[in-house]
Amino acid sequence: MNKGLGFDKLREILLEKDWEERDQLAQKLEDLDDQINSRNRLEEKIQPILADERVNLKNKFPELFGPQITESISKQIRESQDEVVEVLYPIIGRMIKKYITNEMEKLSERIDHQMELAFSWEGWKIRIKAWISGTPQKDMIISKLIEPKIEEIYVIERNSGMLLGSFSKSAALDRDMVAGMLTAIKAFVEDAFTGETQELSNIDYDNFKITIKNFKSFFVAVVTSGGMNAQFRDKLDDTLLDFAQKVLKRAKHGAESDAQNEIAEGLAKYFENFDKDE
């Protein structure tokens, strides 16, 4: 009896720590089991990790999947052109239709305006002009609809590309830099494609045209919109020559700042109402 009691005591002394650890382990296992099998508690633990991953994937999505998506779309478009056309046709068609309708409305408004003018003094002037020049009246009305207009003028020193003066109806980019780039483009074209005696005189882009008039020590770049016609060109040439003779020659002899002011004033005087003059 005493022996058995002694043995139990000894076992208790020797294994007491192990039992404690066993109990703790069992408790931990129970907690883990609870966490894994309880949706709410599992969500609590995993949610922040998933959220981080979501943000990470969102940020790196273009980098990780961009090339594959692009390649896949390109392949899809190549392989199913008919289907793509079928899908895009109504959208593009609607866009074109909307654009044409819009442009037709504008044209219609302008024709209405011209028709209103037909019985006015303006209309009579067109009739008399058409009669004198032998141009059909409808051609004159149409040319009125797409009348050329001066948008900007730059007077630029030929060698340096420095802006001597400018005139614009709207706020443009930095004019000094535009003058420099125009000079560079002009020099590039003349060096690359023409001989020393030939000079760039026109740049066309969409509805705009840059007409360049070259003089000895400077050139004038006139940006116009609308349809350029011979009459407008003649008038522009004459005005520019007159401007060059009267203003620029006089300005050349003054101080730099005085000359720039004189050119700016001259440009305003000559071209402010250029489009309205008859």
Partner 1 sequence: MNKKVILVGHFGVGKTSLVQQFVHSKFSEAYLTTIGVKIDKKEVDVDGLKVNLLIWDIAGETAQSKVPKSYQLGAHGVLYVFDLSRPSTYNNLHEQLDYIKELLPGVPIEVLANKKDLLTEEETKQILSGLSLEIRTTSAKTGEYVEEAFLRLTKAMMA
Nearest approach, Cβ of 217 to partner 1 (angstroms)?
10
The beta strand positions in the chain, using DSSP E, are 149-157, 163-168, 202-205, 208-214, 218-225
Does residue 104 belong to the site contacting partner 1 (CB under 8 A)? Answer: no
Would you say 157 or 265 has its CB closer to partner 1?
157
Q: Which of 117, 162, 228, 264 binds partner 1 (CB under 8 A)?
A: 162
Would you say 49 or 255 has its CB closer to partner 1?
255
Nearest approach, Cβ of 201 to partner 1 (angstroms)?
16
CA pair distance 150, 168, nearest whole angstrom? 8
Contacts of 107 (CB under 8 A, 6+ apart): 145
Nearest approach, Cβ of 187 to partner 1 (angstroms)?
3
CA pair distance 181, 178, nearest whole angstrom? 5
Q: Which stretch binds partner 1 (CB under 8 A): 110-118, 130-138, 152-160, 246-254?
A: 152-160
Q: Which of 188, 204, 234, 254 binds partner 1 (CB under 8 A)?
A: 188
Nearest approach, Cβ of 231 to partner 1 (angstroms)?
34
- For the record, the structure tokens of 179 come out as 């003058």
Closest CA relative to residue 243, chosen from 130, 178, 167:
167
Sign of CA dihedral 204, 172, 191, 214: positive
Positions touching partner 1 (CB under 8 A) are 157-163, 174, 176-177, 180-181, 183-185, 187-188, 190-191, 256-257
